[in-house]
Amino acid sequence: MKLSQWAKLQGVSYKTAWRWFDEGKLPVPVEQMATGTLLVKTSGYKKNKDCVVYVRVSSGDQKSDIDRQIARVVAIVTQQGFTVSKTVTEIGAGLNGHKPKFMRLLSDSSIKIIAVEYKDRLMRLGYEYVKYALKSQGRSLIVVDNKELEDDLVEEGKAVLTSFCARLYGRRSAKNKAKKTLEALKNDSNTCP
């Protein structure tokens, strides 16, 4: 298939795909014809190894991070022998359940594999429940950077506190309010005998 068709399927612009080719970062095998046309080699991939890449950023000012996430996830899953059938991008907070595109992925039983960069790109809390629910349906999640946080309990506490602050103070200031609250708690614990 032509590079432009492949780029459209991946949810990236043709310019971005061409730049990846130029930089040697295109995550799929490609052949350049004498005319200059780039053909992406899709044969040799197993159809049962199709996956959908899900990319989410929290706000509109982080749109530039979308291409970086797509490139990283697509590169890693193709190295693992998967072929990316579709890329889904979404802008929305990780603290709430208002992610319509992600909900469509979950409800579409034809999608067997969903790949993400980090667990929190899906949700802040409850990742394990979704993972096991999909597993019971014969589906799976791939997290390409499954780094464990040094102190998961602290991180989960931050997520819960941020969620509460979002409800009390509004989404924009929630992160700052949670940070200030955590700093105040830390300072109080340092002054106790």
- pLDDT at position 60 is 78
- How does the average pLDDT of the chain come out, rounded? 77
Quick one: 12 and 50 in the same domain? no
**Structural domain span for residue 159:** 152-191
Q: Over range 72-85, report the average pLDDT.
A: 85
**Each residue's pLDDT tens digit, 13-36:** 888 888 888 877 777 778 888 888
**Where does the pLDDT of residue 48 fall: very low under 50, low under 70, confident under 90, or very high at 90 and above?**
low
- Find the length of the chain: 193
Q: What is the pTM of this model?
A: 0.57
Query: Would the pLDDT of 45 be above 50?
Result: no
Quick one: 126 and 57 in the same domain? yes
Catalytic positions are: 58
Quick one: 134 and 93 in the same domain? yes
Query: Would the pLDDT of 171 be above 70?
Result: no
Quick one: 37 and 126 in the same domain? no
Query: Would the pLDDT of 70 be above 70?
Result: yes
Give the range among 106-115, 165-174, 179-188 with minimum mean pLDDT: 165-174
Quick one: 69 and 82 in the same domain? yes
- Edge to edge, what strands does the sheet with 50-57 contain? 83-91, 50-57, 113-116, 140-143
- pLDDT at position 46 is 45
Quick one: 14 and 69 in the same domain? no
Residue (of 115, 64, 110, 53) closest to 87 by Cα position: 53
Enumerate residues 6+ apart whose C-beta is below 8 A from 123.
94, 97, 130
Quick one: 50 and 136 in the same domain? yes
Tell me the three-class secondary structure of the chain, residue by residue. CEHHHHHHHHCCCHHHHHHHHHCCCCCCCEEECCCCCEEECCCCCCHHHEEEEEEEECCHHHCHHHHHHHHHHHHHHHHCCCEEEEEEEEECCCCCCCCHHHHHHHHCCCCCEEEECCHHHCCCCCHHHHHHHHHHCCCEEEECCCCCCCCHHHHHHHHHHHHHHHHHHCHHHHHHHHHHHHHHHHHHHHHCC
**Where does the pLDDT of residue 63 fall: very low under 50, low under 70, confident under 90, or very high at 90 and above?**
confident
**Domain total in the chain:** 3
Quick one: 112 and 87 in the same domain? yes
Q: Over range 56-82, report the average pLDDT.
A: 84
Quick one: 17 and 86 in the same domain? no
CA within 13 Å, CB half, 177 = 15
Rg (CA), the chain: 20
Q: Over range 66-81, report the average pLDDT.
A: 86
- pLDDT at position 47 is 47
- pLDDT at position 125 is 72
Quick one: 92 and 168 in the same domain? no
